[in-house]
Structure 1
């Protein structure tokens, strides 16, 4: 993974519990390009790695703009950013990666953002405006003072629908929102798990290929179909090291690799970020992540080893 050394150029409160962070090259150099929906992995000075979406214009190459929400019950990532990150601090970061890519040929777009989920959506709105693409945005938050990037979205007028729980008596009603969506519309949703699950449930008539999600945390686990290898676990053969390891039902591939001295990059351990993606040389993986679209899974020759398992008795990994 390419690592960038960047400097915090600016940091300020964007909304209640939302911090805007701008990063630049310390030497004033041009930054690697990115596409709407991309994120950076920040290597924070407290030792944690966390992913934050890029909110800026994809054409701008002098800075990256992030929106970081202070998470309730933070495990140390967002809390550190809010409490400790200040102008001039230098950080190691990944180059931009994109697990939430915009389909450029879609005839129209409906964006649904909840809270800090507006961050990748804002980059998509900028792209649609530049390309002359039809779009609408529904932006929901607990209150207006918690809406990050509010002033940047106001000029779009009626194309943005605002929903504040405290003003409208409860959460956004998703079912009527999606009932009359035109066929062909691509829906992009980012926000809290209840909002995302409601969109997934009520948007099923649009088809899997038209629904796109960026998860902050893993949704409630769905029942998994049993596989031939699940009861007794399965084996992984490491092609480059010539090692064979057994993965029992109660442990992940990543945990087994770590226990046997193999270092694999990781961050979330929930199948959300894609950091631990590993090539599969032989065998059939069982994808349990929230990164790969369902329509692509059968043809994939990679897997996220933090959560995914095997449908076949053995997998050969490029390790």
Structure 2
């Protein structure tokens, strides 16, 4: 993956989209178009030196401005509260250029999109791209109630290609039955939302050989947690410093304790913010970001969860 770059943007609009959901429209400070991106992309928003959060782009990739939507998380780590309570029209934000770990493949004959709650955000530009390309597609959008479902009105322009399910009106959905009705058993299936929904969609795709599944994860991979056989190892920085990473700590934490600062957001290997170049050594990858080819290349890693297979890593930090 290319190295991350950052730009300063101006907040041009702040809109309440649903209960607990606010959108922010971002523009360049000089009026020029922001860098191009593709459906499924996200940006990192730097709120302070130690507060970086990741948000999917929900505007159209051909638009001059970017839009993100933020769900207030009462039990979160402060990012959503900061944006909801402190960011206003006219403010400037430092954000990364877009990166895509959830890319849309337009080659399939049929696409089925599945969104749960705020997981609708990366699927909005996917729906727009599929419609513009004249593809066969359907979006299943699940929420607790009408008031909690952001952008439902915006999706109305697609007519019956969008299926809305509200738990308070229709009860808990049978995901497999709903997907069968939409023809997902013979389609490319894209899903984004809470862990329970993704597990249900993953189980469905596993039982339908004709379905190809692509997920946007909000939670860590099963192997991201520590293991009994994890061992201590040494990380060497660009300037030749040796830093010991304990068996029960992450590379990110060990570097931070030694005064080497790296950007991070999720700390679970799902966002890609802490991606770091590997100059020597073999990473033990435990993220949900890198492809199998990128893992095999071994020249980059997510230092919030991944470790070292040997005794020594030389990192580009």
- TM-score between the two structures when normalised by the length of structure 2: 0.88
Deviation at 1:53, TM superposition (A): 1.0
Number of the residue aligned with 1:316:
314
The farther-off stretch of 148-157 and 119-128 is 148-157
Deviations 1:188-236 (A, max 9, x none): 11111211122223322467x93222223436x4597979xx3432333
Given the alignment, which residue of 146, 154, 157 partners 2:156? 154
Q: Which residue of 1 aligns with 2:24?
A: 21
Shift of 1:76: 1.6
Following superposition, the deviation at residue 32 of structure 1 comes to 0.9
* d(CA) in 1 for partners of 2:279, 2:234: 14
Task: Name the CA shift for 1:4/1:247 in 2 (closer, same or farther; >3 Å).
Answer: same
TM-score normalised per structure 1:
0.88
1:233 aligns with 2:236: no
Matched-pair contact (CA < 8 Å) for 2:224–2:287? no
CA distance in structure 1 between the partners assigned to 2:277 and 2:248 by the alignment = 22
Q: Does 1:175 align with 2:176?
A: yes
In structure 2, the partner of 1:56 is 59
Q: 1:97 aligns with which of 87, 99, 102?
A: 99
Contact 1:282-1:316 within 8 A present in 2 as well: yes
The alpha carbon displacement at 1:100 in A equals 1.4
Question: 2-side partners of 1:205 and 1:266: how far apart?
Answer: 36
- What secondary structure is seen at the aligned counterpart in 2 of 1:79? helix
Structure 1: state its 5+ residue gaps: none
Q: Partners of 1:93 and 1:158 in 2: how far apart? A: 36
Which residue matches 2:131?
129
In 2: Cα distance, 1:225 partner to 1:265 partner: 21
Distance 1:37 1:74, change over 3 A: same
**Change in CA separation of 1:90 and 1:277 when aligned onto 2, cut-off 3 Å:** same
Equivalent residue, structure 1, for 2:114: 112
| Closer/same/farther in 2, CA of residues 292 and 174 from structure 1, 3 Å limit | farther
Which residue of 90, 97, 110 corresponds with 1:88?
Answer: 90
How far does residue 178 in structure 1 lie from its aligned partner after superposition? 4.6
8 Å Cα contact 1:178/1:203 also seen in 2: no
Aligned mates of 1:64, 1:286 — CA distance in 2: 35
Change (3 A) 1:28 1:57: same
Q: Residues 45 and 91 of structure 1 are in contact (CA less than 8 Å); yes or no, is this contact kept in structure 2? A: no
Does the residue aligned with 2:153 lie in a helix, a strand or coil?
helix
CA contact (8 A) 2:220 2:288 kept: yes
Measured in 2, the distance between the counterparts of 1:276 and 1:270 equals 10
Alpha carbons of 1:255 and 1:226: their partners in 2 closer, same or farther (altered >3 Å)?
A: closer
Measured in 1, the distance between the counterparts of 2:236 and 2:49 equals 35
**Match for 1:39 among 42, 48, 57?**
42
